[in-house]
Amino acid sequence: MNILWTLMILFVGGMMAQLSYVADSPRQHWPRVVALVAVVLAAIPILPLLSAVGQTTGVPGDLHSGYWLSVMDVAWIPTLGIRVVFGLDGLSLVLVLLTLFLGVVAVLSAWHETEQRQGFFFLNLLWTLAGVIGVFSALDLMLFFFFWEVMLVPMFLIISIWGHENRQYAAMKFFIYTQASSLLLLISILVLALLAWRQTGQLTFGWLDLVAANIGSQTSVWVMLGFFTAFLVKLPGLPVHNWLPDAHTQAPTAGSVILAGILLKTGAYGLLRFVPSLFPDALTQMASIGMVLAVVSILYGAKLAFAQTDIKRLIAYSSISHMGFVLLALFTWSPIALQGATIQMVAHGLSSAGLFALAGALQHRLHTRDLNSMSGLWAKAPRIGFFALFFVLAALGLPGLGNFIGEFLVLLGTYQVWSTATVFAVLAMVLAPVYALIVIQKAFHGTANKDVVIADFDGREIFMMSMLVVGLIALGLFPNAILAITEPTIDWMTSWAP
């Protein structure tokens, strides 16, 4: 029931944020307070589950064996074999906590930036968070698909209503890509359920039931490609990444924080949770192709990142590169690489959220995203410069911070499987400092423009950024805090290897 309470708090909190808004009155700013309180309250049912980590017993394949930290299983549409099944294990628990943590950051980043229809904005923000948490916890594939759609619609509205100059184009591009991938995912789920029905005589959409059915027909290869492509769009990876730079560039700051920090992780989660367990043989058959695709995504994203002058597009392309490491880990099926992928998901969520919050703050103050129009900002806003330097160093993989741990473990695990792929992936770690230095040099060094007046970070922004800084340092110095939580899940995942 823990996850149900969290979802209810976010859904109800969103409605209360909308109802609390009254334009042109002292109450017009109440929605942001309501939203912040709702996100904090939503974490209360989840936090006690941390005490159960390492104490679970039982068989992972049995929902009621004691392996799962939290379980809810009730009938929804019995005739079609559809149930409301929520379950949290180590992997999903980490991602749910990341969602709520970045939810607080997103609300704080929109504190003064979003003034138009503030109640409706925070309703969409909280409902997006609820959809993401549903994705991370749903263990029935139709329920998973329901929340997959729930998180997309409010994000589309956030981009199209509160975005920047080309928001309608970016929102429509985001909608077309995501809805096309959603249709492909739905078709794949239906075909998978029908294949299992033909084999077992039982119609079910339960993930664990479908894993136990062990579909091994040639058709399953095509079904796996449907799942893989749908999740690859959201990761994103080549060649279905084209929606991301525009969506990030045009989204408001809070939207970019949620997109980069959380929504991209739903694609990574889908790849790690469902593809290996449902299609182990098919995944093995395309392992070499998948690793090549991952390496190309890593290098392509890094190459295009340092060719950008728009700071948000630069960060967006760097996200494609960093999330490519998660894709690389998937096809190695190495425990070390998969553990690195989980660390990378969390670390990238924190560092990308910090970078997009920084970019949004600069755009809000300077009314431009063009790095060529920024110069010498460190002298005028040293606090902004400090946080910019920190998050840039985190993104390029500075030892001692979380991103380094994630990428290092992925490369270490990959080297044991295919050393050639590791060599090419390492090249991205050479390109990363290039675009990192471009940001710092162009925006914060050089001769300051005397006509530019910029306010430095205030207390709220310092607190928001400090949350992310502490998270990245803690992840870099104490990665075992996450590794210990996700280890049982990773061990179970690697047991699926044929």
Q: CA dist 154 to 8, 111, 258, 394, Å? A: 17, 18, 11, 30
The whole-number average pLDDT for the span 185-201 is 91
Residue 97 confidence (pLDDT): 96
Given a cut of 90, whether residue 407 has pLDDT beyond it is: yes
Tens digits of per-residue pLDDT, 217-271?
667 788 999 999 999 999 998 888 899 999 988 999 999 999 999 999 999 999 9
Least confident range of 236-240, 393-397, 404-408, 443-447:
443-447
Tens digits of per-residue pLDDT, 24-51?
666 677 899 999 999 999 999 999 998 8
At 58, the pLDDT band (50, 70, 90 cuts) reads confident
At residue 454, φ and ψ (nearest 5 deg) are -135, 130
Given a cut of 70, whether residue 166 has pLDDT beyond it is: yes
Q: Are 235 and 330 in contact (CB under 8 A)?
A: no
At 497, the pLDDT band (50, 70, 90 cuts) reads low
Residue 228 to residue 151: CA distance in whole angstroms:
19
Q: CA dist 351 to 92, 257, 297, 435, 447, Å? A: 20, 10, 19, 15, 28
Query: Could you tell me the two tokens for 72?
Result: 């809810």
Residue 217 confidence (pLDDT): 64
Radius of gyration of the CA atoms of the chain, in A: 22
Mean pLDDT computed over every residue of the chain: 90
361 against 112, higher pLDDT: 361
Tens digits of per-residue pLDDT, 468-486?
999 999 999 999 999 999 9
Given a cut of 90, whether residue 430 has pLDDT beyond it is: no
Q: What angle do CA 191, 192, 198 make, to 5 degrees?
A: 90
